[in-house]
Chain A
């Protein structure tokens, strides 16, 4: 993989001025290019370090344990107090819901694409569909979600008042967010399945296993690290999404349950997530509480960081399982 220690053969000695064993000097353009690559590389490092350090400082300054256990309070004059317990729980809830939808669907599509893929025309269409879903702005997905969940057929999934369905609920947001995670799950699982060499499949067939049994008992367990990677990358995107939350989860900071069944009512009701909490408390939002925005952003960053470490561990495990000798 690494290219630093490439065996560079000494160039053939040219007659004339140059001493033996000395490589010809680089042209100016090459030197400029190399210099630019170094400069931009170091600049990139600097920006990355600056962002991380900035949020570390702000996080240490503003994160208080009390923020995690109290709910947002909106006082009469518009400023908000309290912590972000409900948004934090909302983030986990909505991510869990999105993954519950995206994982089975994504894995099935990936299995179909890599193991079956007949008819070929449908496979090609499905491939470009997944690619296109990855490119659709989440705000458009959100507006499509409003259309879907306002429909009377799906109205029971979200809160309604006097027969008017608003199409805003954890169900709606979770389902639409699963579309955000879906392409990442499909691409990763598919890459994992395609990395399994054919002799593994053939060995399984030779033992008399059917195609479905092979997929379930042999291929999917072998591809587990890539499933995990896909799931975590997808969850990262879901956690970071704001537009769908603003549109489909409603403009409240706390859980507003609809109905009285314990869990179901929360899922049918509206709520918020950390990203919306940050948006709300930024100077451009209604709350305008910078310290709370910073604290919530810091918590978000920590969650994303944890997911990234998870992805790293998963890929390392996948590398240990390399099939090719």
Chain B
């Protein structure tokens, strides 16, 4: 009876993969591997796809998704890297070094920040960070230097990375500190007993023992960052531009639009068939990367488990 329910949930997941990929198939089969390549502007391609759906001619599927994928990689990679380093130190601080009253306040605060809805963070970004970047950090000269190609008005990669970092860091901190707390006390005390100072003990014994938990927390946070659509569409701008590292530091303030935010932007066009298949193709890419992410996390945890702490 319970087993049947479990089978049902497993079937639901498999069905999700099957349905989404089936619905996405026309877009993939028309484009082949060039779906993932670069070339042309995504926005004009999407416009063409949309128009072909309302006219009577053959549907157009030509789509080169690299700018979206590149934006996703930059956003997720940037925010996860920053958030991982910060969260690791913050978690060590909370578990081992913070004064007792501070810890008692910090633990619930971390949990609160981890459950704040993402639109609220998006609101902070849109009202505080984006105007600050647009008015103070980006000079008129750099705005003029890329005029005609892209508008720099603060809706940018940097704003997205920063807000995304603030959003996923509490998730990481709460998972990491659970892991650090689960390290057997005897191991730490043995190290302290050998005369090794407290920092080195925490770093070499505590953090190392908690590695599987670090992986688990990072996977969780990466999944959040990957799937964050609404907040990113609020702070990263509405044009699908691939930020170019060759542009110097302007690179950071160029707008971008990752995969998930693209779906949200064009969700109203779900009823025109070619557009629908394209959106489902984007969703399929997200779905498959999420699956690989959780597989990768599982694989990375295996060799660490032998000496790992469980949390």
Do A and B make up one complex? yes
Q: Which residues of A contact B (CB under 8 A)?
A: 1-4, 6-9, 11-12, 23, 26, 30-31, 33-34, 36-38, 40-41, 43-45, 47-48, 51, 54-55, 105, 108-109, 111-113, 116, 122, 125-126, 128-141, 143-144, 146-148, 179, 182, 233, 236-237, 239-243, 246-247, 251, 275, 278-279, 282-284, 290, 293-294, 297, 300-301, 304-305, 307-308, 311-312
Q: Are B199 and A137 in contact (CB under 8 A)?
A: no
20 contacts between A and B (CB under 8 A): A3-B95, A45-B102, A54-B124, A109-B2, A112-B5, A116-B3, A122-B7, A126-B9, A126-B10, A132-B291, A135-B293, A136-B223, A139-B260, A139-B263, A243-B264, A246-B264, A282-B119, A282-B122, A284-B234, A297-B119
Q: Are B230 and A312 in contact (CB under 8 A)?
A: no
Give the docked Cα–Cα distance between A100 and B8 (Å): 17
Q: Are A301 and B116 in contact (CB under 8 A)?
A: yes
Is B215 located at the chain interface by the 8 A CB criterion? no
Query: How big is the B interface, by class?
Result: 35 or more
Give the docked Cα–Cα distance between A128 and B89 (Å): 29
Known: A131-B298, A143-B280. 9 other contacts (CB 8 A): A51-B166, A109-B2, A111-B2, A132-B294, A137-B223, A146-B270, A242-B118, A283-B126, A294-B123
Q: Are A278 and B123 in contact (CB under 8 A)?
A: yes
Known: A26-B197, A147-B20. A44 touches B169 (CB 8 A): yes
Is B203 located at the chain interface by the 8 A CB criterion? yes
Give the docked Cα–Cα distance between A284 and B163 (Å): 16
Is the contact region of chain B dominated by helix, strand, or loop, or is it mixed?
helix
Q: How far is the CB of B38 from chain A (nearest CB, A)?
A: 23
**CB-CB nearest in chain B for A312:** B108
Is the contact region of chain A dominated by helix, strand, or loop, or is it mixed?
helix
**CB-CB nearest in chain A for B122:** A282
A-B interface contact total, Cβ < 8 Å: 240
- For A31, list chain B residues within 8 Å (CB): 199
Q: Are B9 and A147 in contact (CB under 8 A)?
A: no
Give the docked Cα–Cα distance between A275 and B203 (Å): 40
- For A40, list chain B residues within 8 Å (CB): 86, 89-90, 93
Give the docked Cα–Cα distance between A12 and B199 (Å): 19
- For A278, list chain B residues within 8 Å (CB): 117, 119-120, 123
Give the docked Cα–Cα distance between A243 and B233 (Å): 11
Within 8 A of A (CB), among B199-231: 199-200, 203, 219-220, 223, 226-231
Q: How far is the CB of B88 from chain A (nearest CB, A)?
A: 9
- For A308, list chain B residues within 8 Å (CB): 108, 111-112, 115
**Which listed residue, B117, B199, B264, touches A304 by the CB 8 Å rule?**
B117
Q: Are B199 and A34 in contact (CB under 8 A)?
A: yes
- For B294, list chain A residues within 8 Å (CB): 128, 131-132, 134-135
**Which listed residue, A11, A34, A136, touches B195 by the CB 8 Å rule?**
A11
Surface stretch bound by A, among B25-33, B60-68, B186-194? B186-194
